[in-house]
């Protein structure tokens, strides 16, 4: 929800500072940056989650082992009740890591903000004459 609310205004702000001639080159560049950034961010958070789950299970004296999503639905309810808090703690840790990364990236984003100058003139557009 938050990422979606941030991406469109930031992309619109980036495009608003470009001349018409370079917008066609900027679009694929911004798309590539989004995809690479999303992939790296996802990989980082999955790595943090995996390590946190292993640490939580080890601290509780349990083995995380190799569990896939299909096996999670067949866990007996007694075991599920025992591991649910461990998983909740792990996911909570990952959310705090994501929050910290977002806060850290807010600093360069604020530094990059600069007052908008006058809009770039349209190619071939001359001064407007008032009707009269």
pTM of the model: 0.66
User: Is residue 97 within 8 Å of residue 48, measured between CB atoms?
Assistant: yes
User: Is residue 29 within 8 Å of residue 62, measured between CB atoms?
Assistant: no
| pLDDT tens string 20-30 | 888 888 888 88
**What is the DSSP-derived secondary structure letter of residue 66?**
S
Residue 97 burial by CB count (10 A; 0-12/13-18/19+): exposed, middle or buried? middle
Name which of 26-35, 61-70, 104-113, 122-131 the model is least confident about.
Answer: 122-131
Residue 12: pLDDT above 90?
no
């Amino acid at each position: 929800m938050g990422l979606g609310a941030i991406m469109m205004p930031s992309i619109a702000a980036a495009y608003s500072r470009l001349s018409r001639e370079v917008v066609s080159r900027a679009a694929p560049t911004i798309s590539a940056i989004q995809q690479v950034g999303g992939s790296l961010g996802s990989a980082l958070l999955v790595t943090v989650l995996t390590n946190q789950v292993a640490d939580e299970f080890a601290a509780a004296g349990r083995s995380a082992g190799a569990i896939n999503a299909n096996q999670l639905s067949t866990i007996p309810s007694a075991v599920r009740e025992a591991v649910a808090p461990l998983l909740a703690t792990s996911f909570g840790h990952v959310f705090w890591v994501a929050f910290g990364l977002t806060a850290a990236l807010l600093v360069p984003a604020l530094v990059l903000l600069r007052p908008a100058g006058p809009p770039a003139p349209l190619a071939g557009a001359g001064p407007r004459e008032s009707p009269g």
